[in-house]
Chains A and B, each alone.
Chain A
Amino acid sequence: MPRLASDEVSRGSVFRLQTTCRATKSGSTEGFNEVEVDRRKRRIGRTADGEMILQSFIASKLGEAEGAAGWSVAIAAIVHAALLIALFGALPLFYIWLERKVAGRIQDRLGPTRVGGRFGWLQTLADGIKLIQKEDLAPTAADNWIFRIAPYLAVVASFAAFMVLPLAADLVAVPLDTGIFLILALMSMEVLGIILAGYSSGSKWALFGAMREAAQMVSYEIPMALCVLIPLVTAGTLSFREVAMLQDGLVTNWLIFHDPFTFFGFFTYFVVATASVKRAPFDLAEAESELVAGFHTEYSGLRWSFFFMAEYASMFAVSAIACLLFLGGWYTGIDAETWLVTPILNAVGLTADAGVGRLLMNLFGLHVMLIKASLLVFVQIWVRWTLPRLRIDQVMTTCLKYLVPISCFLFLGAVLWPLVLATAFGRTTLLEGPLATPLGVKVVRQAAFHAPAGKHNLAVSPHEGGVR
């Protein structure tokens, strides 16, 4: 469900109904129009700038024809939705190649070398073409219909997470206020496809794999949510965008370095995230040495590859969440946005705050984000080929006896930390001065930036007080 972000389409009929009612009842539409214009200005300034640019470009080509505005919105939305789907497809392609290459190197082999030139970088594409050609089999013992639909459930749940995942300040399909909450809900739905796949296969290996996966996912959801809460209580928001915006500037602003609890919270989160995307050493659901291939034993061809698309896309998604919550999101951490990108943009006559310059700034952020998340994915691959697989009882012990208490402790600590600091030192952050803007100041600035300008007393203009 791509978001038709720009202008009218993004707002639902509910709000329209409300405002229309109000306008009719009060007998005047002037105040309403003011609010409307104000909202629109903020909207253009804040999100989906790329779509605005593309949309206005398409609108200018279409001219003043009837329905041109609507069509330009639709085309811009389709283009961006296609880009998102392409990203969803391209990331697993790259990561599977990376996995094979890294696995090869760790095991003192070369990995793929031939397909597509020197590094075998087209290996995954060749694999994909091979998988498309394979026969779409279903065992006679299977519950045929569920067997066929289960891979789609897994891949749809995994893709749905990408809709609320911001890849740069303005590059997000659905800029939700509750993005983090929703992404946890969506990613927990991936297990449904896996359970249904294992159950409907009519094979004991698959059923064992599915049962393990179900037990593992249900257990690991608890520390996952607690670990995600740690940066959230520090930042005081549920919006990915706002959490990331708090971490601009230098690396000291990253939430991982905010206090000891967020620091250890990051590592706990990463362990739990590795388990939640069922990667080794937690890949009990597909333990080759015990269960043939676990829940996907009976699958072949494209349906089989869907599970892997979902897995690798989820690896990226949890890594991107780690970046957004702990590792400064789309910011470089050396403030390259200020001393490098902005001067370059200014030199070619663009500004980083609006128009094409803003779009380029976002593309820069997108690349920073992709590199950071890919590094974390690399760590996951590295861990997989280094550590041996745990037994299922060890997996459960790790979660229930260690990770849950640890994350509870870290969460409580993160809540109490500002209070203790305020009592002891009279301030709420450890680092003060030029290196780190106190978080409270940033939160107030953001609140001022988000509120409609000129409507109340909080009006700090976005240019002087708001986020860059």
Chain B
Amino acid sequence: MSDFSISLDQFLFWVFAFIACGSAVLVVAIQNIVRMAFWLVMSLGSVAALFFLLHADLLGATQLLIYVGGTVVVLIFGVMLTASGPYMKIQTSAGELFLGAGVGALLLALLINSVCSTDWDALTLATSNTALPIVSGEVDNGGTARPLGLAFLGIRPDQDLGVTDVTKLSPGFLLPFEIISVHLLVVLVGAAYLARAKRRTVTAEPRS
């Protein structure tokens, strides 16, 4: 029974991991920009599926909403508004290819390094000792929303449950969250300023 469930989860994990990587490769390899957008959706969506398989439901939903939904719609918007021909293609020059491959290899090296240097046993042990099941609702599907929400408010039952000294309570995430949201507001105001119709200071010249 347990073998069955593990193999099913692992099987799905491999399937989605394969789709995510394969689609990412296709994004780079294909030159038609709308097809690239489609494969980007597939890649990002598969990453969301991986999050769901790992029971990070809020993260998976956010991935779908922000990346798959938002980014891709904006991307397609950009393509449609800027494309000069019917099916625009992107030609990558050899220099760009070389530069991109170099940056990609560096990032890969960084990721491999951090994966290898992490003590995964300690991490899983730390999370298993938390009191998350007590505060989260639908535990079996992750139930990460409630603990995350509480953590935003500064309530950290996963770390503070046994702590009696009030001065040693863990910090919440409210301040970083507010800083980020104010930052986003500034960006939005800036975008609105840039995009609005400019007021004409000079009157239009009379047509001859």
Contacts and interface: CB of A to CB of B under 8 A. Distances in A.
Contacts of B146: 177, 237
Interface stretch (B51-59, B163-171, B178-186): B51-59
A22 B125 contact: yes
B109 interface: no
A241 B141 CA distance: 14
A177 B2 contact: no
A455 B134 contact: yes
Contact of B141 (A19, A176, A214): A176
Contact of A11 (B10, B87, B134, B140): B140
Given A21-B121, A177-B146, A237-B137, A14 B55 contact: yes
A177 B124 contact: no
Contacts of B142: 176-177
Contacts of B87: 143
* Interface of B (DSSP majority class): helix
Nearest to B131: A456
B68 interface: yes
Contact of A189 (B4, B62, B69, B76): B69
A185 B134 contact: no
Contacts of B49: 1
Contacts of A406: none
B145 interface: yes
Interface string A438-467: 000000000000111001100000000000
B73 A218 contact: yes
Interface string A253-287: 00000000000000000000000000000000000
Contacts of A200: 34
B152 interface: no
A145 interface: yes
Contacts of B32: 143
Contacts of B5: 4, 8-9, 11, 13, 70
Nearest to B49: A1
Contacts of A67: 4
Given A11-B5, A176-B141, A238-B145, A192 B129 contact: no
Contact of A181 (B58, B121, B141): B58
A70 B4 contact: yes
A184 interface: yes
A331 interface: no
Contacts of A17: 124
Interface string B128-152: 1100011011111111111000000
A355 interface: no
B134 A21 contact: no
B173 interface: no
From B9, B61, B68, residue with most partner A Cβ within 10 Å: B61
A70 B2 CA distance: 9
A19 B127 CA distance: 10
B1 interface: yes
A234 to B, nearest CB: 15
Contacts of B55: 12, 14-15
B105 to A, nearest CB: 30
Contact of B136 (A19, A177, A192, A202): A177
> Ordered nearest first, which 5 A-B pairs have the shortest CB separation?
A18-B128, A70-B4, A185-B65, A185-B64, A182-B61
Given A13-B9, A70-B4, 16 more contacts: A4-B5, A8-B5, A11-B140, A15-B55, A22-B129, A39-B133, A143-B35, A146-B38, A175-B141, A176-B141, A178-B57, A178-B144, A189-B69, A214-B77, A450-B137, A451-B133
